[in-house]
Structures are given as structure tokens and as C-alpha cells.
Amino acid sequence: MNALPMLPFADPGAGYRALKEEIDAALLRAAGSGWYILGEEGAAFEREFAQWLGEGQHAVGCANGTDALMLILRGMGIGEGSTVVTVSHTAVATVAAIEMAGATPLLLDIDPDTYGMDPDELRAVLEDPPPGLPPIRAVIPVHIYGQPVDLMPIKAACDAAGVALIEDCAQAHGARLEGRAVGTIGDAAAFSLYPTKNLGALGDGGVLSTADEALARRIGAIRQYGWVQRYVSDLVGVNSRLDEVQAAVLRVKLGHLDAQNARRRAIAAAYDAALAGSGLAPPVRRPGAEHVFHLYVLRHPERDALMARLKAQGIGTGIHYPVPVHRQPAYAGRVALGPAACAETAKAAGEVFSLPMYPELSEEQVARVCLALRGL
Ligand SMILES: *Cc1c(COP(=O)(O)O)cnc(C)c1O
């Protein structure tokens, strides 16, 4: 019998408990303010998040990460009659956002080592778009698992083709590429603030960023009925706001994010060391890319057996993602694929699995995972 309790794959409650005093004070402050939507907390969070990202950035809070992507597309005027290129190896949210904006998704394959968009395939579809699709207007690469995608060739291809580059940073708050924060390299970036993300609210939340102040202002209007002034809808809008209570909590958590990302990297290094001599290779790091380990992902053809062995030792695992978007019932046979037909994506979906990874893991818990890994 295993006497130890199951170590969960994710534990958002631990994220709250670790900062309980500060978060409780923020919750009470927001509750007591008497102003709950688009007030001082939200404005301060947007300012602080933009500053944390880098000079010249503007941030707009919204209801969730999916809406952040949708709002960027709408703000850029990309909708019906446009194709938006992304990957199939992502949260369904990325593709859902494209269709919410009214645009047509085109899904590309991934690099099998780092799971990000393949820049060569992107170049191919930009030069020779698949027939029957509306013109390509934007590309959304995903910094999947917390590692920056191979963004520089992707940016060069977008610039050459005159299409917008939107970074999906939902898993990569604080990741850096050649010293620059992800989310500051493309034309705009979307961040999810879902509770398990590297920066997570106590509920739903999202934020987007851009260096284009006019775009930020337009999106700020679109997120609230298209209002530029109260009760005057100059634009066709939606309702997608970040509330004051979440913003107050997020301000606290933002102050700890860099340290928490460093802790994630330290846990990753411990897992790497434990895997030495096992049949499993640690996650591949791209040169010049600073990974923030939203997820620590391994791959093996016998994934299910390995996950069962870890479970028998009280270690929870996850799969991100078991079914690629193009094979989901709502998308299969309907969504357009690039020339590689997402072959590597389908293969990865059958082999990847994720270990427990959150900054609140104790040394003892990390040691438990490492012990189990050594025995694999
Ligand atoms: C979580 C996530 C989203 C969506 O964020 P929500 O806040 O859940 O709407 C989008 N893209 C990726 C890659 C994600 O991981």
C-alpha cells in the first residue's frame, strides 16, 4: 500500500494558500471599494502588466484568454473573408477564437522536438496558400508548454507576406526569446489568466498586449459594447471584461511571477537530472529560448504504461493534448490543414504526457517525483 497521498498534477489551491495573506487583503480591498467592473484595480493591473512585459507595451484586460485572441483579431479587422493560420497542437481555444472572430482557421503541423509551429510549413502556405481559402491575414503561433516558439523565422515570413503576427502566450507568461519577453515580438499577444496558468486568477481572466496604442484603444472599446464614451457604441463590440476582484488578485500574483517562473525552472532541472539514465529524454530546450515550464512534457510510445506506473506511486500526470484540434468531432473533416496534414501533431498527441509542475511543489514532493522517475 502506498501511504502517501496522491500528488496532483495541478494544484491551483496551493497557489492561493502560498500567498493567502496578500491575496485576502486584495480581495477585501476590491470588495470594499464598491466598484466592481473596469475600475482602478483593472487599470492598475493593465499598467503593471504592460510595464512588466516591457517598455512601450499597452495591456487590455478581458474575460479570458480565448476572448483575448478573438478581441485582437476583431481589433485588427480580421474576421469573415480572412484566413488565420495556427497549429492543431494547442488548446482548442486558439482555433475557437479564430472562428469566434468569423475568420477561417488553417492548421499547420509542429516541430516534433519542441511542439511549436513549423516555420518552413508556414513559409510554404504563405507563398502558395491552399486553394479555396480566403486570403491569409494573420498567423497565431503558440508558445506551447512555456517555451518560446521559433518566432524569428515566423516573424520574417509574416513580414514578407504582409500578414499580422499574433502570439498565443497563454502558457508562456515571462518566457523570453533572445532576451525579449514573448508577447512583445509580434503585433499583439494574448495571455490566459486561467487559474492553472503561470499567472492565474481565482477564476477566469485574460489580458492582451500590443505596442500599437491605437489598436489597444480600439480593443478597449470593443471589449465593452464598442463604447468609446459611455453609452456611445462607435464600434461593434462584445462584453468581455476583467473584473476588479480578479484584477486585484492578479496584481498580487504578478509581483511573484518571476520568482515562481524561476522555481518552475528549478523543478524542471531536478526532473531533468532524475531522468538521466532512464529511457526518457528531458524536454528539448531551443537555443536562445528561456522556457517557463507551464508544463513539463515528456514523450514515449508507451505513454499509458508509464503514466500508470507513476500513478501507482502516487504521482498524477496529464496529457496536453490527447486529441489534436483537427481530430476533435467539432473540427474533423471541416477545418483546413497545411501540406504536412498535421502528421507530427497526431503522433505527438499519442505520446506526450506531463508531470506535476507548479511553483508550490515542495522539495519533498519534487523528490518523490524524481524517485519515481528514476525507477521508470
Ligand atoms: C489556456 C489557453 C487558451 C485559452 O485561455 P482561456 O483563458 O481558457 O480562454 C488559449 N491558448 C492556449 C495555448 C491555452 O493554453
Question: Distance from the CA of 229 to the center of ligand 1, in angstroms?
Answer: 30
Q: Residue 294 CA: which ligand 1 atom is closest?
A: 15
**Of 213, 237, 254, the domain-final residue:** 254
The CATH number linked to 18 is 3.40.640.10
Regarding whether 263 and 248 lie in a shared domain, the answer is no
**Of 232, 254, 276, the domain-final residue:** 254
Regarding whether 195 and 162 lie in a shared domain, the answer is yes
Which of 69, 90, 92, 192, when mutated, tests ligand 1's pocket best, judged by the most ligand atoms within 8 Å of its CB?
A: 192
Question: Distance from the CA of 372 to the center of ligand 1, in angstroms?
Answer: 30
Regarding whether 60 and 208 lie in a shared domain, the answer is yes
Regarding whether 275 and 213 lie in a shared domain, the answer is no
47 in a domain, yes or no? yes
Regarding whether 235 and 105 lie in a shared domain, the answer is yes
User: What distance in Å separates the CA atoms of residue 36 and residue 201, rounded to the nearest whole number?
Assistant: 15
Regarding whether 283 and 238 lie in a shared domain, the answer is no
Regarding whether 267 and 219 lie in a shared domain, the answer is no
Q: Residue 206 CA: which ligand 1 atom is closest?
A: 7
Regarding whether 334 and 223 lie in a shared domain, the answer is no
Residues with CB under 6 A from ligand 1: 64-66, 90-91, 93-94, 142, 168, 170-171, 192, 194, 206
**Of 254, 278, 304, the domain-final residue:** 254
| Strand-strand pairing, 164-168 and 136-139 | parallel
| Strand-strand pairing, 164-168 and 188-192 | parallel
Contacts of 197 (CB under 8 A, 6+ apart): 65, 170, 171, 173, 191, 294
Going by the DSSP 8-state scheme, the letter that residue 174 receives in this structure is T
Regarding whether 293 and 233 lie in a shared domain, the answer is no
User: What distance in Å separates the CA atoms of residue 286 and residue 327, rounded to the nearest whole number?
Assistant: 28
165 in a domain, yes or no? yes
Contacts of 163 (CB under 8 A, 6+ apart): 85, 126, 136, 137, 138, 139
Backbone angles phi, psi at 117, to 5 degrees: -50, 135
List, in sequence order, every beta strand (DSSP E) within the chain: 58-62, 83-87, 104-108, 136-139, 164-168, 176-177, 180-181, 188-192, 206-210, 227-229, 232-233, 289-290, 296-299, 336-337, 352-355
Regarding whether 282 and 175 lie in a shared domain, the answer is no
Regarding whether 154 and 185 lie in a shared domain, the answer is yes
Q: Which domain holds residue 239?
A: 14-254
Torsion angle, alpha carbons of 71, 88, 135, 59, to 10: 20
Q: Kindly report whether the global pTM for this prediction surpasses the value 0.85.
A: yes
Domain count, the chain: 2
What does each of the 376 residues of the chain score in pLDDT, given as a tens digit? Answer: 456 789 999 999 999 999 999 999 999 999 999 999 999 999 999 999 999 999 999 999 999 999 999 999 999 999 999 999 999 999 999 999 999 999 999 999 999 999 999 999 999 999 999 999 999 999 999 999 999 999 999 999 999 999 999 999 999 999 999 999 999 999 999 999 999 999 999 999 999 999 999 999 999 999 999 999 899 999 999 999 999 999 999 999 999 999 999 999 999 999 999 999 788 999 999 999 999 999 999 999 999 999 999 999 999 999 999 999 999 999 999 999 999 999 999 999 999 999 999 999 999 999 999 999 998 8
Taking CA atoms, 153 is separated from 147, 159, 179, 185, 189, in Å, by 16, 10, 16, 12, 17
Regarding whether 264 and 249 lie in a shared domain, the answer is no
The CATH number linked to 353 is 3.90.1150.10
